[in-house]
């Protein structure tokens, strides 16, 4: 399956069901002492360079907004609220916010 196939197969996350789901984000507030939690924010119209060591051993959750993962080749893939990612080892140039609201990304890694 190519990157374009995966992008075409992307389906948005369904809205929370009343009374059953919490709309406050993807990860619980407490994650335990053996893990490190980090929150990143990318404002509309801004981007963040992809630095491989920053994403090593990190589970990545898009908490709000939409972020474009821009590959060195120029290919882009849009990730949305609720998407869970593993960015280690990817050939990316940057993470870009082309939307109108801030992107909030939470990462969790082992200490």
Which domain does 50 fall in, by range?
Answer: 34-110
Q: What is the pTM for the complete model shown?
A: 0.72
pLDDT at 94 over 70: yes
Distances from the Cα of 57 to the Cα of 70, 86, 106, 109, angstroms? 20, 8, 13, 6
pLDDT of residue 48: 97
For 18-61, the pLDDT digits (tens) are 433 344 456 666 677 888 999 999 999 999 999 999 999 999 99
Q: Which helix (H) or strand (E) holds 106?
A: strand 103-110
Q: Mean pLDDT across the stretch 81-96?
A: 96
- Any domain includes 29: no
Number of domains in the chain: 1
- Any domain includes 27: no
> Which domain CATH number covers 50?
2.60.120.10
């Amino acid at each position: 399956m190519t990157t374009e196939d995966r992008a075409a197969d992307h389906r948005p996350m369904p809205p929370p069901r009343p009374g059953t789901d919490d709309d406050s984000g993807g990860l619980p507030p407490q994650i335990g002492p053996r893990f490190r939690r980090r929150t990143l924010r990318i404002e509309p119209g801004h981007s963040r360079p992809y630095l491989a060591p920053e994403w090593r051993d990190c589970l990545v959750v898009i908490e709000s907004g939409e972020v474009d993962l821009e590959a060195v080749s120029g290919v882009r893939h849009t990730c949305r609220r609720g998407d869970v990612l593993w960015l280690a080892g990817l050939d990316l140039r940057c993470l870009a916010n082309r939307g109108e609201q801030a992107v909030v990304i939470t990462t969790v890694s082992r200490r």
